[in-house]
Structure formats: structure tokens, C-alpha cells
């Protein structure tokens, strides 16, 4: 899945940071996902049901996916996918998303 951030030059690491920060800033709902991850499928399905129009980044289909995952860990403390943001706020993974929905607190965020 490509380079991890430990093998990146400072310039490449800065580019990854800029790219990820821009994705989060420019979309209301962002899911960093992997295409074969069942938790990602559950999260994407719920967001679809709520017509959230999520911007999905499938890390396993990107050459810099691993470096993005490393940066997400640095940014959020979370390494697993899905890694979800709503209106620039870090939500967490599928567990957190489903829990918000069960408490009827997800829809108002969208
Ligand atoms: N409790 C987490 C579980 C997430 C999880 O375990 N995701 C796996 C993929 S299915 C993962 O990120 N594994 C590490 C990796 O792919 O790098 C959630 O609800 O999001």
C-alpha cells in the first residue's frame, strides 16, 4: 500500500498533511476507509441511509494510503479505519458513529 510516513522526506510528509487537512476542511462528511473493511462498510451504509453524501477515501487504493493513515494517527490518535470526520470534527470509528446514531445525535450533526 505504499510508503509509511517514516520513510517520507519532510516535503512529502508536509504534502500528505496538506492533502488530508484540505480533504477534511472541504467536505462536511469524510470517511477514511479501506475497501475490504467490514466496519467501513457499516459506517458508509449508515451514512448513505442518512443521505450524508460522505466523501470516501479508500486508503488501500492509494499509493500514499499508508502515509495518510500514519498522518491520521498523528492527527487523531486513531490508526484504525474507518476514521470519520463530520464538519471538521473527529468522530472516531464505526463504533462511535453507530453509538451517536443510537442516541439520535448523528442526524443533527449532518
Ligand atoms: N472498533 C473499530 C474497529 C475498526 C477496525 O478494527 N478496523 C480495521 C480494519 S477492518 C483496521 O483498521 N485495521 C488496521 C488497518 O487496517 O490498518 C471501529 O468501530 O471502527
Closest Cα to atom 10 of ligand 1:
37
Residue 95: CATH number of its domain: 3.40.30.10
Number of domains the chain contains: 1
- By most ligand atoms within 8 Å of CB, the mutation choice from 42, 79, 81, 102 for ligand 1 is 81
ipTM value for the complex: 0.98
pLDDT at 7: 79
What are 43-73's pLDDT values in tens digits? 999 999 999 999 999 999 999 999 999 999 9
pLDDT at 97 (0 to 100): 98
Q: Are strands 29-33 and 55-58 parallel, antiparallel or unpaired?
A: parallel
Q: What angle do CA 44, 49, 51 make, to 5 degrees?
A: 90
The pTM assigned to this predicted structure is 0.95
- Residue of 92, 72, 68, 67 whose CA lies nearest to 82: 92
pLDDT, position 8? 86
Residues of the chain with pLDDT under 70: 1-6
Domain ranges, residue 16: 5-109
**What's the pLDDT score for residue 6?**
65
The set of long-range contacts for 20-23, using a CB threshold of 8 Å and a minimum separation of 24, is: 20/68, 20/71, 20/72, 20/75, 23/55, 23/57
Assigned C-alpha cell, 76: 487523531
Amino acid at each position: 500500500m505504499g510508503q509509511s510516513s517514516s520513510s517520507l522526506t519532510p516535503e512529502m510528509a508536509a504534502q500528505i498533511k496538506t492533502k488530508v487537512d484540505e480533504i477534511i476542511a472541504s467536505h462536511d462528511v469524510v470517511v477514511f476507509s479501506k475497501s475490504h473493511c467490514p466496519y467501513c462498510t457499516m459506517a458508509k451504509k449508515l451514512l448513505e441511509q442518512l443521505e450524508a453524501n460522505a466523501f470516501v477515501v479508500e486508503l488501500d487504493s492509494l499509493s500514499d494510503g499508508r502515509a495518510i493513515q500514519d498522518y491520521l494517527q498523528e492527527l487523531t490518535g486513531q490508526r484504525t479505519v474507518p476514521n470519520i470526520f463530520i464538519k471538521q470534527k473527529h468522530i472516531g470509528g464505526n463504533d462511535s458513529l453507530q453509538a451517536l446514531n443510537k442516541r439520535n445525535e448523528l442526524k443533527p450533526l449532518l
